[in-house]
Amino acid sequence: MSITRSRPSDDGAPTAPDSGGSAPREHVPARTARAWAVPLLLRIHFFAGILVGPFILIAAISGALYVVTPQLERVVYAQELSVPESAHTLPLGDQVRVAQGYIGDAASLAAVRPAPGPGDTTRVMFAQDGLGPSQTRAVFIDPGTGEIRGDLTVYGTSGALPLRAWVSDLHRNLHLGEPGRLYSELAASWLGIVVVAGLGLWVVRLRRARRKKDLLRPQRGATGYRRLFGWHASLGIWLVVGALFLSASGITWSTYGGANVSSLRAALSWQNPALETTLGESSDAADPHADHGVVAAPTAAVSPDTFDDVLAVARTENVDVGLVEIRPPAAAGQAWVVQEIQRSFPTEVDAVAIDGDSLAVVDRVDFADYPVMAKLARWAVDIHMGSMFGIVNQLVLFAVALGIAAMVVLGYLMWWRRRPTRDPARRVGAAPRDALPQAPVWGIALVVVVAIGVGFFLPLVGLPLAAFVIGDAVVQSWRVRRARRRSSGGAEGTVVRP
């Protein structure tokens, strides 16, 4: 008895089964590279999507929610953020004294963010025991009256309030702390692998398709699996650039891949210029991911009136935007730092270090002097967070994130549609096969070597990918040999497929 199976097409949809063996088949020529490479792409796309899909789905939905949190904050925290406009503005020193009187000895003054515009509040920020990395306790002051408008924990350079910080932690680590960051690294890095494999499959179909426009939009009149596949493929090609960008930029925050990115930038001198803050010889390098730093409490005596003095000096140097953070010295012998924190275009992150006693400028760093790669890193972070181009940036990210989530759902629905409907023992879809048994040894070796190379930079991608390819080759080869033994008494020339 001959054994025949339906062979999956390049897009993963099963084709018609072979015709029952009415006549012996002709000799099948050796497979071309495309004959095994394309099914391999399909299996990688399939298994990666199935196994990592839940992580990508959570990251996409939480990311979509994150990009709209600035607008939600303006509503939820209107009391703390907004005040009636006033023609009179109190000196920063007086506002700091109000906040210090409210806080008492419970916390140490860490920074001040003057009201960026009319109708906004001033944030007087304190370091306090029990807060997490990059967290401060902010007292919101009406700059016109000195009224205390609120007291909240804020996070990072973005100044995220509790709502946005909660969504950010969900997106970054599922509220599981450092171990939870492995989830987002899996999602960010494998998203790129799934997208690249899917793009390869789409290109193959484009070269064979008679109606190429059907690959840019769902095919009209299609039903069942074909309808789902049409939406999955056409939606994917429109999202490919955005998905790859989110994958690449998201890796820079990851535990292992992010550390390797930082090491590479250091080796190639792609880091941000260092701002000299020590009144001597040391330096304090800036980080494009400043949201993840540690807030230091000053150990030296700080006069509230000095905030006004150093800001006035900074305004004569390179600080010319409303969004500014003033940090007093973290220790004796340190300079004050006035830092622009505007993340929207045009990027304004200039900084100046000032001696608090003499008000002499110690050092300054301008964004214009950043290396090109440092600028690209800054812009990538800000675009990823939705702050670079304002509402347009947010809308695009929101659409891309929801599109990626839809792609994951469509992928699972396609998997479900592939299940054998007449076999109650198999309630889920089958994986596409026919990839590696006929692949040349050099082909498998090349894929494994590339995967191991990727593993040195992205361990959570390269090593599992190499293990999958090797294991898949072994399992499929074993299945082919077993099928051939079972069909050894069949018609001569019958082709046995895995």
Domain end residue (candidates: 167, 197, 231): 167
Domain end residue (candidates: 321, 352, 384): 384
Residue whose pair of structure tokens reads 């040349």 in the numeric block: 440
**Cβ contacts of residue 379 below 8 Å, gap of 6+?**
347, 388
Q: Is residue 342 part of a domain?
A: yes
Domain hosting residue 309, numbered range: 270-384
In 52-196, DSSP assigns E strands to 108-113, 122-127, 135-141, 148-155
Kind of pairing between the strands at 284-285 and 324-327 = unpaired
Q: What is the pLDDT along the chain (498 residues), one digit of tens a residue?
A: 333 344 444 444 444 344 344 444 434 444 455 567 788 788 888 888 888 999 999 999 999 999 999 999 999 999 999 999 988 999 999 999 999 999 998 899 999 999 999 999 999 999 999 998 899 999 999 999 999 999 999 999 889 999 999 999 999 999 998 888 999 999 999 999 999 999 999 988 888 877 777 678 887 777 888 889 889 999 999 999 999 999 999 998 888 888 888 888 888 888 889 899 988 654 444 444 444 454 555 545 689 999 999 999 999 999 999 999 999 998 888 999 999 999 999 999 999 999 999 999 999 999 999 999 999 999 999 999 999 999 999 999 999 999 999 999 999 998 888 776 666 665 666 666 655 556 677 877 888 888 888 888 888 888 888 888 787 777 777 877 787 788 775 544 444 444
Residue 96: closest CA among 356, 380, 333, 307? 307
Q: Is residue 276 part of a domain?
A: yes
C-alpha torsion 324→304→354→342, nearest 10: 0
Count of domains forming the chain: 2
Q: Is residue 228 part of a domain?
A: no
Q: Is residue 160 part of a domain?
A: yes
Q: Is residue 405 part of a domain?
A: no
The pLDDT value given to residue 23? 40
- The helix (run of H) or strand (run of E) holding residue 45 is helix 33-67
Q: What's this model's pTM, rounded to 2 decimal places?
A: 0.82
Domain end residue (candidates: 130, 147, 167): 167
Helix (H, G, I), strand (E, B) or coil at 341: coil
Q: Is residue 301 part of a domain?
A: yes
Contact 365, 286 (CB under 8 A): yes
- The helix (run of H) or strand (run of E) holding residue 275 is strand 274-275
pLDDT tens string 131-175: 988 999 999 999 999 999 999 999 998 899 999 999 999 999 999
Helix (H, G, I), strand (E, B) or coil at 84: coil
Q: Is residue 369 part of a domain?
A: yes
Q: Is residue 107 part of a domain?
A: yes
